[in-house]
């Protein structure tokens, strides 16, 4: 089977051996003598998608996207062409992430642009919803963890997807992992906050207010669309239907559309994802992950204790006896103190002294400086033995090394791919060790 690549052909399938499409007369081609289109999968926006065979790889399947805008106005045509080219750039930029389709080729042939992508064998979540019915809270939690980890990588590359919805999320058949597709609407985030208004792109009902009103898009914009996607899968209701009736007001009352209740913790997460004002939403995928699965507090690292040398004249037996006497005296003193407190409380109904003030002399602490630079919470810090260097580990996946005397940032270490929960410096000031939620421990040589 060979498909006709004329974008306006009404009957593109043709049997093998046919040279010209009998429906429209267009010559049938194998692109670059390698990619043979075998089935039309539909069209959307400004592109048509085909299932194709890669003849150089034993007919391995791939997706073939053809730039075929249904518009004539020059400005709109140029913008559509720019977006098509940008999709190829974004896919190349994101590399070989296992949950983002790999770009295989991008070229022009017969005055038409083509983009070849890795074939994802699976079903999109829109079809899954139709077949299996509404998702449970647990299913949505698992979905969020999967997609948020993809978005972390996408946003770290300064890319905003701008069209997250069930139809653009495929569950891969081989491992049941979710794959985020269709970066045709994606945009490069050139600044921390986009100040210039852009083109209004996105799916009605899923796109946030700032994206639909002025074309602005931020990481928080993708998180809103992800929240709407979760609502759609939980409720079975298409967000576009609610948007057409209520605009953005429906997001304040999303719970009333559910057939089943959700936990308070999960409800708060969805509330924050669906805020109309993007400033009030989560600002990063990592922040949502932290609320979904707050990590256990790391064990406290005991401080280094420097023991005084014991006089050599004392025998081990004498030292053990003295330690035993000290423990006994300490226990007697502690019991006496506790007994006095209990007696005073029951006899006079007051403590003889305020227990909260014991050992608390007037504070003479003052703030020397505040170090800023991490974009997420700080989990751990360590100070070098010479008191000249501070090391901090953060949820933003980085380790920062500071000069305590200045104080200034000396360097940033970016080897971890997930939150850094612990850092430690060896007594000789030569080695730094870090532990991360990416299941690795890294050993660094100190400068």
Write the CA distances from 134 to 126, 227, 250, 270, integer angstroms: 11, 15, 19, 16
DSSP 63: E
- List CB contacts of 343: < 8 A, sequence separation 6 or more: none
DSSP state letter for 16: T
Residue linked to tokens 């992430």: 97
Compute how many other C-beta atoms are within 10 angstroms of the C-beta atom of residue 60.
Answer: 13
Q: What is the DSSP letter of 184?
A: T
Residues 6+ apart with CB under 8 A from 150: 97, 99, 100, 178, 180
Find the helix or strand (DSSP H, E) in which 43 lies.
strand 35-44
Residue linked to tokens 């999967």: 146
Q: Which of 56, 110, 146, 163 is catalytic?
A: 163
71, 81 Cβ separation under 8 angstroms: no
- Told to judge if 163 belongs to the known catalytic residues of this protein, a careful annotator would answer yes
State the Cα–Cα distance between residues 199 and 45, nearest whole angstrom: 14
DSSP string, 347-407: HHSS-SS-TTTTT-PPP-----------SS-EEEEEE-TTS-EEEEEETTS-EEEEETTTT
* Burial of residue 259 (number of CB atoms within 10 Å: 0-12, 13-18, 19+): exposed
Of 67, 26, 15, 78, the residue nearest 43 (C-alpha):
67
With contact defined as beta carbons under 8 Å apart, do 391 and 369 qualify? no
Residues designated catalytic: 163
């Amino acid at each position: 089977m060979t498909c006709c690549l004329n974008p306006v052909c009404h009957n593109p399938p043709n049997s093998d051996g046919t040279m010209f499409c009998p429906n429209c007369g267009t010559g049938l081609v194998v692109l670059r003598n390698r990619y043979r289109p075998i089935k039309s999968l539909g069209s959307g926006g400004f592109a048509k998608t085909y299932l194709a065979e890669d003849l150089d790889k034993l007919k391995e399947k791939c997706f073939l996207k053809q730039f075929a805008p249904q518009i004539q106005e020059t400005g709109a045509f140029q913008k559509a062409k720019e977006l098509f080219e940008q999709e190829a750039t974004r896919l190349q930029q994101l590399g070989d992430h296992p949950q983002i389709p790999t770009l295989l080729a991008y070229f022009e042939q017969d005055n038409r642009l083509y983009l070849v992508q890795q074939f994802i064998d699976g079903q999109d979540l829109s079809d899954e919803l139709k077949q299996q019915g509404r998702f449970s809270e647990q299913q949505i939690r698992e979905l969020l963890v999967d997609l948020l980890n993809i978005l972390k990588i996408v946003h770290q590359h300064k890319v905003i997807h701008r069209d997250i919805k069930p139809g653009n999320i495929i569950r891969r058949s081989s491992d049941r992992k979710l794959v985020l597709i269709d970066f045709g609407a994606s945009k490069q985030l050139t600044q921390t906050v986009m100040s210039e208004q852009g083109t209004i792109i996105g799916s009605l009902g899923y796109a946030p207010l700032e994206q639909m009103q002025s074309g602005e898009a931020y990481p928080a914009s993708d998180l809103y669309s992800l929240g709407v996607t979760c609502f759609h899968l939980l409720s079975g209701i298409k967000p576009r239907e609610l948007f057409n009736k209520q605009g953005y007001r429906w997001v304040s009352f999303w719970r009333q559309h559910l057939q089943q209740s959700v936990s308070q913790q999960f409800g708060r997460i969805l509330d924050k994802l669906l805020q109309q004002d993007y400033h009030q939403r989560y600002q990063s995928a990592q922040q949502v992950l932290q609320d979904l699965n707050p990590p256990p507090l790391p064990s406290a690292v005991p401080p280094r204790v420097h023991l005084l040398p014991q006089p050599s004249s004392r025998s081990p037996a004498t030292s053990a006896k003295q330690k035993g006497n000290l423990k006994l005296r300490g226990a007697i003193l502690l019991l006496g103190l506790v007994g006095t407190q209990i007696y005073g409380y029951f006899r006079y109904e007051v403590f003889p002294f305020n227990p909260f003030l014991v050992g608390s002399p007037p504070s003479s602490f003052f703030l020397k400086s505040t170090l800023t630079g991490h974009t997420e919470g700080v989990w751990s810090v360590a100070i070098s033995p010479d008191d000249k260097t501070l090391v901090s580990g953060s949820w933003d996946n980085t380790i920062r090394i500071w000069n305590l005397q200045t104080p200034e940032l000396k360097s940033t270490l970016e080897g971890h791919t997930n939150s850094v929960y612990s850092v430690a410096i060896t007594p000789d000031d030569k080695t730094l060790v870090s532990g991360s939620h990416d299941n690795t421990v890294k050993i660094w040589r100190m400068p």
